[in-house]
């Protein structure tokens, strides 16, 4: 497998996540199609100028790979739009202004009065009321956003990495109010969301994007806190690989952390010990970046056991201190084979 953007780089410098927004960039999409918003001259000027600024900032800082800054996301409470940008645009979801009941997910239960309780009650997740699918009338438009940013980056001669949350991280917080999906069994919902996201990522790749970053597949959470659910973990591997199917000639980055909405630490006993082999050997990606500074790099030695299983080029990278991207064995290839419509139970 050839790396399209970091072939000649030992430790490529880039960023993960949202870049600080200029104070003058105060326009938001709030669920509208990008084409609709771009008819507003105020939004159009701010949106295009902000992407030119974020590219310029990162290029002047010396980054090898620049990003969009996540400037298509709304500036809302504690990064809500990172999750909700796709959810506001897919079919089959009923949003807060129409809700008659709030989500019942136990994952959103925190003591009253805490910052996390305030955040999760404010976010108000949509409910699933029908089959979740891509909506051609209001697509995610990742390809169009990337082209706007790449045009700004052309003068700097840097590739633009486009990042998005993994589809599977969304399903865990959603309630089913339709016979399409079981309330307790998330598999079909995750599978359908992976297909919807894959369509957008294929369009993004077809537009010329060389680096796509998929953020927060939930495998490390499940392997850490529910390791006995082996069949479900195996399913999540299949679902993630479905999500990135067909991204040939694209360098796929996988980013994982443990969550920090509004800089609030969600877990205190996190560990990648149970998920190292899953990420390095079973997911069809090229680069794996992890959150390592909050726990003082204590988990980096977990990579030692995998150094000899990697090609020589990638073993060299694994010896570089600290926090190198984990590379995948070159035996993994993504293909453009048609995807099944339902995951075999």
Domain at 76, CATH number: 3.20.20.210
Residue 309, pLDDT above cutoff 80:
no
In a domain, 112, yes or no: no
In a domain, 258, yes or no: yes
What is the pLDDT at residue 102? 60
Domain count for the chain, please give it: 1
In a domain, 274, yes or no: yes
In a domain, 149, yes or no: yes
When pLDDT is averaged across residues 174-190 and rounded to a whole number, the result is: 91
Q: Mean pLDDT lowest for which of 159-173, 192-206, 316-330?
A: 316-330
Count CB neighbours of 131 within 10 A: 14
Beta strands 251-256 and 211-215, pairing class: parallel
What is the pLDDT at residue 295? 81
What is the pLDDT at residue 145? 97
Range of the structural domain that residue 63 is part of: 34-97+127-327
Beta strands 91-94 and 160-165, pairing class: unpaired
In a domain, 140, yes or no: yes
In a domain, 306, yes or no: yes
Predicted confidence (pLDDT) per residue in 80-136, tens digit: 999 999 999 999 999 875 555 565 677 778 888 999 888 888 888 899 999 999 999
Kindly list the distances between the CA atom of residue 8 and the CA atoms of 12, 62, 305, 317, in Å, as whole numbers in the listed order: 9, 16, 25, 12
- Cα-Cα-Cα-Cα dihedral sign, residues 278, 284, 287, 288: negative
The answer to whether the CB of 325 falls within 8 A of the CB of 317 is: yes
When pLDDT is averaged across residues 19-24 and rounded to a whole number, the result is: 95
In a domain, 67, yes or no: yes
What is the pLDDT at residue 104? 61
pLDDT-derived band at 320 (thresholds 50, 70, 90) equals: very low
In a domain, 134, yes or no: yes
């Amino acid at each position: 497998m050839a790396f399209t953007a970091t072939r000649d780089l030992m430790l490529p410098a880039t960023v993960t996540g949202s870049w600080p927004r200029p104070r003058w960039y105060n326009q938001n999409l709030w669920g509208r199609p990008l084409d609709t918003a771009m008819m507003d001259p105020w939004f159009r000027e701010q949106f295009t100028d902000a992407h030119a600024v974020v590219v310029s900032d990162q290029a002047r800082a010396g980054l090898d790979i620049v990003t969009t800054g996540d400037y298509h996301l709304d500036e809302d409470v504690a990064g809500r739009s990172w999750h909700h940008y796709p959810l506001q645009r897919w079919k089959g979801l009923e949003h807060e202004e129409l809700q008659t009941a709030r989500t019942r997910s136990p994952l959103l239960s925190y003591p009253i009065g805490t910052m996390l309780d305030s955040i999760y009650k404010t976010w108000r997740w949509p409910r699933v009321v029908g089959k979740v699918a891509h909506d051609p009338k209001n697509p995610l438009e990742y390809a169009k956003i990337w082209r706007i940013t790449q045009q700004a980056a052309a003068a700097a001669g840097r590739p633009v990495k486009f990042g998005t949350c993994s589809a599977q991280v969304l399903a865990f917080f959603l309630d089913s109010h339709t016979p399409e999906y079981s309330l307790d069994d998330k598999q079909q919902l995750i599978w359908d969301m992976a297909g919807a996201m894959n369509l957008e990522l294929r369009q993004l790749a077809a537009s010329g994007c060389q680096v796509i970053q998929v953020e927060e597949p939930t495998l490390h959470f499940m392997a850490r806190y529910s390791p006995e659910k082996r069949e479900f973990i195996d399913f999540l591997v299949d679902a993630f690989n479905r999500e990135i199917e067909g991204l040939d000639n694209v360098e796929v980055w996988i980013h994982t952390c443990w969550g920090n909405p509004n800089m609030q630490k969600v877990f205190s006993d996190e560990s990648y010990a149970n998920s190292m082999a899953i990420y390095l050997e079973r997911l069809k990606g090229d680069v794996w970046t992890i959150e390592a500074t909050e726990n003082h790099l204590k988990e980096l030695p977990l990579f030692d056991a995998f150094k000899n299983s990697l090609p020589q080029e990638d073993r060299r990278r694994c010896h570089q201190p600290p926090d190198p991207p984990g590379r995948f064995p070159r035996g993994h290839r993504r293909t453009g084979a048609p995807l099944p419509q339902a995951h075999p139970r």
